[in-house]
Chains A and B, each alone.
Chain A
Amino acid sequence: DARVTQTPRDKVTEMGQEVTMRCQPILGHNTVFWYRQTMMQGLELLAYFRNRAPLDDSGMPKDRFSAEMPDATLATLKIQPSEPRDSAVYFCASGQREGDGELFFGEGSRLTVL
């Protein structure tokens, strides 16, 4: 059963620490999205990739966030240094390049920055 896998599921860290979240998209999917979910803002788009190339990361605070796809099976979202306002659930989703199809979301990574 193909699914998007995210790690870690839960992360508690102290302010100022580096946080790395990982995502394994569904095999064969060419688009990968990172979303951040909070009660106030809902699902915010942070970045997305097509064929591993970053197409848009305008939703990310550039000074502390970075997103990469080192290969087709791994996408990473890094926060350095982390701040309490970064506390949220971070979702990765993947989709197929052809057509206007659905996105498949991972279970999410819940981040708490103290």
Chain B
Amino acid sequence: QQPVQSPQAVILREGEDAVINCSSSKALYSVHWYRQKHGEAPVFLMILLKGGEQKGHEKISASFNEKKQQSSLYLTASQLSYSGTYFCGTRGGSNYKLTFGKGTLLTVNP
């Protein structure tokens, strides 16, 4: 089942912060975050595993609340290069099926 992302879109000025949320109605094994620039392929940002282990990006952080089946992506001091569509993907078990939400369009203006 597709995870739900919010907000659908957000506009920032350079240097501002943003939070993107992802929630699922099913128990989660892991949450994955990707960013897609217009006309390009999605690119991996981060994985959050059940049990708290986190792997990924230097300048972007995230949290994973296993009990609430929710994850949040935190972008602080945003840069122009952060613009794009952010997707969360979820795995509900130890299989490899990765299902993505509909995405959050982030626009960072000067």
Contacts and interface: CB of A to CB of B under 8 A. Distances in A.
Given A43-B42, A103-B44, A108-B41, A35 B100 contact: yes
A103 B102 contact: no
A26 B43 CA distance: 15
Contact of B98 (A33, A97, A104, A106): A33
A24 to B, nearest CB: 14
B102 A42 contact: yes
A107 interface: yes
A105 B41 contact: yes
Nearest to A42: B102
Given A55-B95, A100-B91, A91 B41 contact: yes
A18 interface: no
Interface string A16-55: 0000000000000001010100000111110010100001
Q: Which of A31, A42, A95, A97 has the most CB of B within 10 A?
A: A42
A65 to B, nearest CB: 17
A1 interface: no
A97 B96 CA distance: 8
Given A42-B87, A91-B42, A108-B41, A103 B98 contact: yes
A50 B2 CA distance: 21
A63 interface: no
B59 interface: no
Q: Which of B40, B43, B98, B102 has the most CB of A within 10 A?
A: B98
Given A91-B41, A105-B43, A43 B96 contact: no
Given A41-B102, A55-B96, A97-B96, 5 more contacts: A31-B96, A56-B97, A91-B42, A102-B47, A103-B98
| Leading 5 A-B pairs by shortest Cβ distance | A42-B102, A102-B44, A105-B41, A43-B100, A42-B103
